[in-house]
Amino acid sequence: MKMRGRGVAKAEGGALLCCGIDEAGRGPLAGAVYAAAVILDAARPIEGLADSKILGAAERERLAAEIRAQALAWAVACASVEEIDRFNILRATFMAMRRAVAALPQMPDEVIVDGKLCPPLDCRVRAVVKADATVAQVSAASILAKTARDAEMCRLHQVYPLYGFEQHKGYGTPEHLRALREHGVCPIHRRSFAPVRELLPETRVMLALAWD
């Protein structure tokens, strides 16, 4: 899944196009991992950008709408639960990031990513620790990724209402773990993650044989 803005990425006076990317959903036990790529317009600054984790839901939604309306370009992409289980969460996160950058109307000159590791891209990439709080483009990307993933988890709550996805968004809260034990694993749970894997029938059989 990819979503992209309609803007054409053009910098004034031949300035370098700098793109921020960030992810949402590396830690949860359920749902896809999302990534967003954002190229901001220096002529249209957006006030209040910050790490999405410190913003309230209403403020994130307000800023997400402003980013989509005012950025030079933006895109959101994801990697599926199946890809997470097949390749591991880090590789799946990089896949989502590559897809988001590829969905932009133009390849940026430089990409800044939050953290210490860089995804493989066809342009210069810099990893900056806490960039989601200090680099406006990355803050914007973190907001778009977070709001897109939250919306998807709320949609999936309608499909799998027993787990409370609209509340915890797939994270391993006590309520989610209790629902997992009571109702078992559903199709959007990440089977490669230990709290889920331990509840799979085949895992229980293997444990029983090991203790036999």
pLDDT in tens, the chain (212 residues): 566 654 555 555 566 899 999 999 999 999 999 999 999 999 999 999 999 999 999 999 999 999 999 999 999 999 999 999 999 999 999 999 999 999 999 999 999 999 999 999 999 999 999 999 999 999 999 999 999 999 999 999 999 999 999 999 999 999 999 999 999 999 999 999 999 999 998 654 333 334 44
pLDDT confidence of residue 181: 95
Give the pLDDT of residue 115: 94
Q: Report the C-alpha gap between 55 and 166 in whole angstroms.
A: 17
Place of tokens 């709320």: 154
Provide the residue ranges of all domains of the chain, joining segments of one domain with +. Answer: 2-159
**Residue that the structure tokens 């009571």 belong to:** 182
Beta bridge partners of 79: 33
Predicted confidence at residue 201, as pLDDT, reads 80
What is the rounded distance in angstroms from the CA atom of residue 123 to the CA atom of residue 74? 17
Residues 6+ apart with CB under 8 A from 200: 185, 191
CB distance 103 to 30 below 8 Å: no
Phi, psi values for residue 114, rounded to 5°: -75, 135
What pLDDT, on the 0 to 100 scale, is given for residue 141? 98
CB atoms within 10 A of CB 67: 23
Which structure tokens are listed for 157? 């709550």
- Which residues are within 8 A (CB) of 199 and not within 5 positions of it... i.e. 6 or more apart? 180, 181, 184, 185
Helix (H) or strand (E) holding 202: helix 201-211
Q: Domain 2-159, what architecture?
A: 2-Layer Sandwich (3.30)
Model confidence, pTM: 0.91
Quickly list H helices, 26-173.
Answer: 57-70, 81-87, 89-102, 131-134, 136-159, 165-168
Q: What strands, in cross-sheet order, belong to the sheet with 2-4?
A: 2-4, 73-79, 33-39, 18-24, 110-114, 124-128
Q: What is the pLDDT of residue 204?
A: 45
Helices 57-70 and 136-159, packing angle to 10 deg? 120
Q: End-to-end alpha-carbon separation of the chain, Å? A: 45
pLDDT at 16: 86
